[in-house]
């Protein structure tokens, strides 16, 4: 079975077209080598899938005939992704929450005052100084 079809059958990608594009972009490797979408998959192959900033590591147990249901996926593959990869993703999510939400625009007057209070960079305008 082709690698793109296999990844679609075991539900790592929603469509075969998306799986094919991932292969073309180099996000898929079999036994340590980047592969084309037409590469055949055999039992006991080690597949690495780069998706959502996680390197999923799979071992092919069996080849399905068609796309399988979510409950039957574990019959055809063994997921050997280390837990540290998921912890790293969670840390990235938490670190992004610290910054301003994208699209909120410039800081408001209140935000600016809070920043100035925090940094003590408030400016005092005297009548003697003219610009």
Model confidence, pTM: 0.68
pLDDT per residue as tens, the chain (131 positions) = 999 999 999 999 999 999 999 999 999 999 999 999 999 999 999 999 998 888 999 999 999 999 999 899 999 999 998 888 888 888 887 776 666 666 577 777 887 888 888 776 555 555 555 55
Q: Which residues of 14-52 are buried (b: 16+ CB within 10 A; e: fewer)?
A: eebeebbebbeeeebbbeeeebebebebeeebebbbeee
- Residue 13: predicted pLDDT: 92
The Cα–Cα gap between 29 and 97 comes to 32
Domain locations along the chain: 3-82
Q: What is the pLDDT of residue 26?
A: 92
| pLDDT at 121 (0 to 100) | 58
Whether CATH 1.20.1050.10 fits 3-82? no
- pLDDT on residue 101: 65
Alpha-carbon torsion (91, 93, 97, 99), positive or negative: positive
Say what the pLDDT of residue 127 is.
54
Q: How many CA atoms lie within 13 A of 17 on its CB side?
A: 0
């Amino acid at each position: 079975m082709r690698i793109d079809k296999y990844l679609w059958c075991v539900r790592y990608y929603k469509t075969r077209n998306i799986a094919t594009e991932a292969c073309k972009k180099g996000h898929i490797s079999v036994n340590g080598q980047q592969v084309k979408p037409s590469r055949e998959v055999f039992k006991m192959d080690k597949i690495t899938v780069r998706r959502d900033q996680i390197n999923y590591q799979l071992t092919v147990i069996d080849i399905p005939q068609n796309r399988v249901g979510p409950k039957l996926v574990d019959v055809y593959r063994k997921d050997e992704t280390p837990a540290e990869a998921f912890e790293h993703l969670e840390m990235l999510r938490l670190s992004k929450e610290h910054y301003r939400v994208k699209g909120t625009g410039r800081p408001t007057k209140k935000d600016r005052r809070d920043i100035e209070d925090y940094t003590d960079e408030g400016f005092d305008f005297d009548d003697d100084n003219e610009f």
